[in-house]
Structure formats: structure tokens, C-alpha cells
Structure 1
């Protein structure tokens, strides 16, 4: 197999690992602790994306918007529960391991860049994919806060905040999914 690319950078959640059920369980557990409404796992598809902080913001009731103290408490509770249960249902998507092995065999350097906390991301990669498949695994760390997005990128992906593989690989912007705005209300 001749590789079209020398390097491929993958996102983690929802790309190579199906983590939705564990994220939903942690969110609902946190909501239950406060007597807040919970959500079906499928509803979390519209809450995930943009990292754990945005997920917590999205499942908290609207009356707590702007309440920094409640947000920090809820985030800490979510992180604690998720930290203990992040592998209850998480698994690679079917065919992912084989695809990664084919790319690796073709000489492609593989990496993971995710907005999941690094302390959660690195052990998940190690468990499900081993220590040799990826040249680099980098999750979110407090020392490097998320960067603001360009208006051009936001307009292309409809605010879904997901980048195509082409963005990372080719170093130029390509709007491959103009209807992405329909994914999230």
C-alpha cells in the first residue's frame, strides 16, 4: 500500500474510540447528584465536542449559566466519576485497529491530538492501541488553554468545531462538510 501521506493525526473521542456511553454515564451521574434532569446517551452526541468543559456546560441546567462556583464543582464531580469509569463501555470502533496497522505498515507516522484531558487520553490509548502505534499522544493540559477558532473555520464546519483530516495533513483549509451545522442544534 503506497501511502498518500507521511503523517496522520487523529482525534480520540468519536474518531478512533467510542467513548460516548462513558461520557454520558458520567454526565448523568453528575446530574443525578444534583437532582438535575438526565439525558439519553444519544442526546449526548449533541453535547460532546469542544472538550470536557463545554460538555459540562451543556448538561448543566440553564439557571446555572455563569455560576462559576457551581460550574467548577460540577466539573470536578464529572472528572472524578469519569476518571473512575472511563473504560466501562469505551472501545475502538470496528476496523480502527486494522486501519491503524495498515497505515503504520505503510510507513505513516501516527499521532493523536485530543481535547480530552491528557491524564485520561494517554492511558486510554495505551490500553486500546498499545504504546507503539502512535509516535505522539497529546491531550489537553492546563498549561496550554484552547485557542480561539477563526471565523473562516467556524463558517465552514457550521460551528461543529471538528476538523477534517485534510486540515491537519495538508496544512490548508478545505471545507469538506458544508452541511455540518445540522449535527448540533
Structure 2
């Protein structure tokens, strides 16, 4: 048994564990270019990340002139095909993330990913970065069914069940993460280094970290 106060620590993927912004921006820009739209910078794309590929694409199209649902259908396929083929070109874990995961695992904490990314893509990027084995559960935006991604509590509840139960906390960078964790009754930690859609204070997280080197002491304080 571990003396650590949490048996399970769940993490969002994009903007929390991994800096996927370069590869996601490239995929979005591929879709925008194919529609004759101007491309966007990585910094412009970052606030669009977190709600899934279609949400990101819709925001990118809105920023460059708008579109119909039919156009989104076509362009989403182009975006996903490009992203799947180039999923880990620039993507890397954030600094100190793997050290924190190693320390948590050494204390017997079970780790999980809950993301609004399609589960297949989440598993692909984790596999290409040799990270899959670290996680007891990997839940994507489509895992629990349509409309059951974050901010619903459903994937958080599933995370706890798949990890065998116990006291849990969640770490993320978006309002979707914090609301999902709170809806499930979990303390939520916000990452200031993530792909923020709004000032981090507005997320109303229970704590804020500015790097993974402070995650474990922050979890201990939350307990």
C-alpha cells in the first residue's frame, strides 16, 4: 500500500501531459490550406485545442471566414488523416512530466489518461512516444459514446472504475477538465503551461501548477 493520499491520478493529454500544439497546428493548417484559407500560427491554434478535432477545426474555420457543417465533415477527415500520419513529429511530454509519472508510479499510484482526443489517436501518440505502458486506463472523447466526453463526469467515473477504484485527482488545462473532475467530485489541478482558452484563474481549479516539478507536492497539499 502507498502512503500517498491519492490512489489514482488522471491526466488530460493535449496541453497537460503532451505539448501536441505543433502537430495539431500543422494538421489544422493542412485542412485550412486545402479549403483555400490562410494558415494560423501555433499560438493562434493553442486556445482552440481541448474540445476535440472538430471543435478545433470549427474554430479555425471561424477565424478564417466561417463554414457549413458539410464543409466541416469534409475538412475534418482531411485534418484527421494528416494528423494520424504525422502525429508525433513535434509532440513531446512537457518538462519534468515523465519524472513526475515515475515518482507517482513508484509510490503505487495508478495513472490514467482522459482526453477529448479520439481514443485511437490518443493511443497512437502514446504508443509512438513509448508511454502507453504507464497508464492503467486510456479514455478518449469517443470511448464512452457520443456526447459523453469532458466536461461530462462520465469519462472520469470510468477512469476510476477502470483503475480499480480509490481516491482520485485530475490534472488538466481546460475548462472541460476542471468541470469534469468537479462534476465527479474530484479535486482538479490546472496547468498554467497548457493550451489555455481563458485566464487560468477563471477555471476555478483547486490548485494551479506551473510545471510538473510541483505536481506531487501540490497533490499532497490538496489532500
User: 1:9 is paired with a residue of what secondary structure?
Assistant: strand
- Whether contact under 8 Å (2:178, 2:203) holds in the other structure is no
Shift of 1:180: 4.1
Query: Under a length normalisation based on structure 2, what TM-score does the superposition of the two structures give?
Result: 0.67
Shift of 1:174: 7.0
- The CA distance in 2 between the partners of 1:131 and 1:175, in whole Å, is 22
1:6-17 to structure 2, matched below 5 A, reads 6-17=7-18
Shift of 1:51: 1.0
- The CA distance in 1 between the partners of 2:136 and 2:47, in whole Å, is 31
Q: 1:115 to 1:126 in 2, by over 3 A?
A: same
- The CA distance in 2 between the partners of 1:132 and 1:165, in whole Å, is 27
- The CA distance in 2 between the partners of 1:57 and 1:42, in whole Å, is 17
- Whether contact under 8 Å (2:25, 2:42) holds in the other structure is yes
Per-residue displacement from partner, 1:8-64 (whole Å, max 9, x unpaired)? 111100100110010001111111112102111111112112111100100114654
Which residue pairs with 1:162 in the alignment?
176
- Whether contact under 8 Å (1:8, 1:165) holds in the other structure is no
Which residue pairs with 1:51 in the alignment?
52
Aligned length: 171
- The CA distance in 2 between the partners of 1:48 and 1:171, in whole Å, is 25
- Whether contact under 8 Å (1:64, 1:70) holds in the other structure is no
Which residue pairs with 1:136 in the alignment?
137
Q: 1:41 to 1:60 in 2, by over 3 A?
A: same
Which residue pairs with 2:202 in the alignment?
179
Which segments of 5 or more consecutive residues in structure 1 lack a partner in the other structure? Answer: 151-159
Which residue pairs with 2:104 in the alignment?
103
Query: Under a length normalisation based on structure 1, what TM-score does the superposition of the two structures give?
Result: 0.79
Which residue pairs with 2:39 in the alignment?
38
Coordinate RMSD, CA, aligned? 3.0
- The CA distance in 2 between the partners of 1:174 and 1:122, in whole Å, is 23
